[in-house]
């Protein structure tokens, strides 16, 4: 994940000025809160959650194809046990 350095904010400042964090997220799309100078928390706009959780049909078909190819023997054995 690439992090825009302009979105880094200390946990102390986030505690003292959360409205600044909210404005930063509105402007940049996310903010990274540092704890002990290390990235600890990621704040994102709620609307982006749904965008990131939905896989495209092509992605689902591609992953399904890979899984079926990788596990072909197991699928064939399960199919033969049904008969």
State whether residue 9 is helix, strand or coil.
strand
Domain edges within the chain: 1-44, 55-83
Q: Please provide residue 17's backbone torsions phi and psi, each rounded to the nearest 5 degrees.
A: -145, 65
Count of all residues that appear for the chain in the document: 83
| Calpha distance 10→71 (Å, rounded) | 47
Q: What is the mean pLDDT of residues 49-54?
A: 66
Q: Which residue has the higher pLDDT, 58 or 52?
A: 58
Q: Which residue has the higher pLDDT, 51 or 41?
A: 41
- The whole-model pTM stands at 0.57
Q: Which residue has the higher pLDDT, 34 or 46?
A: 34
Token readout for 28 is: 């940049």
């Amino acid at each position: 994940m690439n992090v825009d350095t302009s979105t880094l904010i200390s946990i102390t400042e986030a505690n003292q000025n959360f409205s600044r964090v909210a404005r930063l997220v509105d402007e940049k799309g996310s903010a990274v809160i540092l704890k002990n100078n290390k990235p600890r928390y990621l704040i994102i706009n709620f609307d982006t959650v749904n965008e990131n959780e939905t896989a495209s049909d092509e992605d689902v078909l591609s992953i399904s194809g890979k899984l079926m190819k990788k596990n072909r023997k197991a699928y064939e054995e399960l199919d033969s046990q049904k008969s």
